[in-house]
């Protein structure tokens, strides 16, 4: 895929104001192209090559294959050692798109249902604008990561030397949020997105004929007790001013309609903002599962895994993000202390290594124009948001490197 010719104007033209030169690239066309490519975690080959080609066409140094399909574009001006990272995720979701859009995904069974096509376009738009900025003094790294959805891409890029090969003083990211006014910017210092842990409880009893309960140890009944008891963790033992979620999301058995199973598996998901709460959830899930099973003569084994780090915004990076956001949008569109949300985000891994800020950008409140929920088969990123994100990213870079 070669980079689009910026002079070739399609029917739909991006309104980008002064963020780009008059001959600037077409954000909407890039976004729609990326939307059609929609590749899932660690399979973002064509997506990666598209963003790499665009950056090469802007004379930005490009490194590919970082942590799998990750790409970093590096733009250096002047002599300063200051540096900043702008990060976008690249992956789509394994969801069959049903938007009916002209530019709907061409990949059977995968779509950009989380707006990562828009995130990439905003970083590319910033790259295009900054590549023409002669006043910068320092280095910008444009970081395109694979596999945000399973929470593995950031760690993969870091393990592949992201921060050693591309040192940066701070890193910034945006995620669109349906339900907030289009272009509204919302962030906060401290935890903004929850950490996510998962668990699998395997309950082993003794299966048998459905007509002879006296001969079995029924793990399904045990699992029902456990599912209910797990709901007491947050309700009865977490401080009400803290936040946590314990959700059982699936129960499977090895039984038939007329047989009591021997094994039942409960899978689930927990959310929290603090490592102490995460440890507490793990301990209580183990205690409840193991002891409840034992009380019924069964056995329970718990596997508890940590999937997403909590995204914790650095105070200095966040102060800068708020200052820049306030210069990009009107005061009523800038929320400097938005409530944290229980969803999780791979960006939290970067925040554990360098000062970082993650900001939410409103995708709109009306259904068809940005208000439909993330991860739904009819969701679409709102093009009206693109120029706001580009200006915000350019503002951050100019704040640090000018
Ligand atoms: Zn998502
Ligand atoms: Zn996402």
Residue spans per domain, the chain: 17-192+310-401, 195-308
Query: How far, in Å, from the CA of 40 to the mean position of ligand 1?
Result: 11
Query: How far, in Å, from the CA of 246 to the mean position of ligand 1?
Result: 20
- Which of 200, 235, 206 has its CA nearest to residue 219? 206
Query: How far, in Å, from the CA of 147 to the mean position of ligand 1?
Result: 10
Tell me the ligand closest to 375's alpha carbon. Answer: 1
Query: Cβ contacts of residue 286 below 8 Å, gap of 6+?
Result: 302, 304
Tell me the ligand closest to 311's alpha carbon. Answer: 2
Tell me the ligand closest to 363's alpha carbon. Answer: 2
- Which of 186, 118, 178, 103 has its CA nearest to residue 366? 178
Instruction: Give the mean pLDDT per block of 10 residues along the chain (402 residues).
Output: 34 34 66 96 97 96 98 97 98 97 96 98 96 96 98 97 98 97 96 97 97 97 98 96 96 94 98 96 98 98 96 98 95 94 96 97 90 96 95 97 90
CATH classification (class only), 17-192+310-401: alpha beta
Query: How far, in Å, from the CA of 362 to the mean position of ligand 1?
Result: 15
Query: How far, in Å, from the CA of 79 to the mean position of ligand 1?
Result: 38
Predicted structure pTM score: 0.89
The whole-number pLDDT of residue 25 equals: 54
Tell me the ligand closest to 373's alpha carbon. Answer: 1
Tell me the ligand closest to 376's alpha carbon. Answer: 1
Query: How far, in Å, from the CA of 221 to the mean position of ligand 2?
Result: 37
Tell me which CATH code domain 195-308 carries. 3.30.70.360
What is the DSSP code string of 339-380?
PPBSS--TTHHHHTTS-EEEEEEEEESSIIIIISPTTSTT--
Query: How far, in Å, from the CA of 303 to the mean position of ligand 1?
Result: 24
The whole-number pLDDT of residue 174 equals: 98
What is the C-alpha to C-alpha distance for residues 187 and 134, in angstroms, rounded to an integer? 30
Query: How far, in Å, from the CA of 175 to the mean position of ligand 2?
Result: 6
The whole-number pLDDT of residue 369 equals: 83
Buried b (16+ CB within 10 A) or exposed e, 300-321: bebebeeebbbbbbbeebbebb
Tell me the ligand closest to 176's alpha carbon. Answer: 2
DSSP conformational letter for 169: S
The whole-number pLDDT of residue 172 equals: 98
Query: How far, in Å, from the CA of 253 to the mean position of ligand 2?
Result: 32
Cα 51 to chain centroid, rounded: 19
Query: How far, in Å, from the CA of 28 to the mean position of ligand 2?
Result: 19
DSSP conformational letter for 94: S
Query: How far, in Å, from the CA of 91 to the mean position of ligand 1?
Result: 9
Query: How far, in Å, from the CA of 210 to the mean position of ligand 2?
Result: 45
Using an 8 Å Cβ cutoff, are 160 and 67 in contact? yes
Tell me the ligand closest to 117's alpha carbon. Answer: 2
- Which of 72, 89, 85 has its CA nearest to residue 139? 85
Tell me the ligand closest to 118's alpha carbon. Answer: 2
Using an 8 Å Cβ cutoff, are 382 and 31 in contact? no
Sign of CA dihedral 259, 264, 267, 268: positive
Edge-to-edge, what's the strand order for the sheet holding 61-66? 61-66, 70-77, 138-145, 83-89, 170-178, 356-364, 185-186, 334-335
What is the C-alpha to C-alpha distance for residues 276 and 322, in angstroms, rounded to an integer? 29
């Amino acid at each position: 895929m070669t980079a689009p010719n910026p002079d070739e104007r399609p029917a739909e033209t991006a309104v980008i104001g002064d963020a780009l030169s008059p001959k600037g690239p077409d954000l909407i066309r890039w976004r729609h192209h990326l939307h059609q490519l929609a590749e899932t975690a660690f399979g973002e080959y064509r997506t990666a090559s598209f963003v790499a080609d665009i950056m090469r066409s802007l004379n930005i140094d490009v490194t590919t294959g970082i942590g799998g399909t990750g790409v970093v574009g590096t733009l250096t001006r002047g002599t300063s050692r200051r540096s900043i990272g702008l990060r976008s995720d690249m992956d789509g979701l394994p969801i069959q798109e049903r938007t009916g859009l002209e530019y709907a995904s061409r990949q059977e069974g995968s779509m950009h249902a989380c707006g990562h096509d828009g995130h990439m376009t905003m970083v590319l738009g910033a790259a295009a604008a900054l590549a023409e900025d002669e006043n910068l003094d320092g280095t910008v790294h444009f970081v395109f990561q694979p596999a945000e959805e399973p929470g593995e891409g950031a760690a993969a890029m870091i393990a592949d030397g992201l921060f050693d090969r591309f040192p940066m003083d701070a890193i910034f990211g945006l995620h669109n949020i349906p339900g907030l006014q289009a272009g509204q910017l919302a962030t906060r210092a401290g935890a903004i997105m929850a950490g996510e842990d998962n668990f699998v409880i395997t309950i082993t009893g003794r299966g048998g004929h459905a007509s002879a309960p006296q001969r079995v140890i029924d793990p399904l009944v045990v699992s029902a007790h456990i599912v209910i008891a797990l709901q007491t963790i947050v309700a009865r033992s977490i401080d009400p001013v803290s936040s946590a979620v314990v959700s059982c999301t699936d129960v499977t058995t090895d039984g038939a309609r007329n047989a009591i199973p021997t094994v039942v598996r409960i899978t689930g998901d927990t959310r929290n903002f603090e490592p102490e709460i995460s440890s507490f959830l793990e301990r209580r899930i183990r205690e409840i599962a193991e002891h409840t099973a034992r009380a019924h003569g069964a056995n329970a084994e718990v596997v508890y895994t940590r999937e997403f780090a909590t995204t914790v915004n650095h105070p200095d990076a966040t102060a800068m993000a708020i200052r820049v956001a306030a210069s990009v949008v009107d005061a009523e569109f800038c929320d400097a202390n938005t409530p944290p949300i229980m969803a999780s985000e791979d960006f939290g891994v970067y925040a554990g290594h360098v000062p970082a800020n993650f900001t939410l950008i409103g995708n709109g409140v009306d259904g068809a124009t940005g208000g439909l929920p993330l991860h739904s088969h009819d969701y679409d990123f709102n093009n009206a948001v693109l120029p706001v994100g580009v200006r915000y990213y350019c503002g951050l870079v100019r704040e640090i490197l000018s």
